[in-house]
Amino acid sequence: DHYEAQVRPRSGLASKYGVTLPNSPGTIDADYRGECCVPLINHGQEPFVVEPNMRIAQMIIAPVVQATFEVVEELEDTVRGSGGFGSTGA
């Protein structure tokens, strides 16, 4: 029960046609028992038709880690500090 399926887009569909998943990765919980669907969004200029047996997504089975949190009065300093987007040089 500590696993999930992560549904991700295929990079080829995104780069060639602009077709991807609007919620990526999509999560399918271990206790879900209904039909699994893959929503797609077309950012491309041309219509895109999904044909039978076409590979439109990929699924990764991954462990789910249940984190525990500790409430503190103050956070410890780190090398990064409060630097936001781009602060690491990326």
What's the rounded mean pLDDT across residues 27-40?
94
For residue 89, pLDDT beyond 80: no
- Is 89 domain-assigned? no
In a domain, 44, yes or no: yes
Annotate 39-81 with DSSP letters as a single string. --EE-SSS---PPTT---EEEEEEE---------SSPPP-SST
Mean pLDDT of 38-65: 96
CATH number for position 56: 2.70.40.10
Q: Is residue 12 part of a domain?
A: yes
Residue 12 pLDDT greater than 90, yes or no: yes
**Which pTM value belongs to this model?**
0.72
Whole domain around residue 22: which residue ranges? Answer: 3-63
User: Mean of the pLDDT values across residues 10-36?
Assistant: 94
* Amino acid identity for residue 12 in this structure: G
* Residue 36 pLDDT grade (very low, low, confident, very high; cuts 50, 70, 90): very high
Counted domains in the chain? 1
User: pLDDT value at position 41?
Assistant: 97
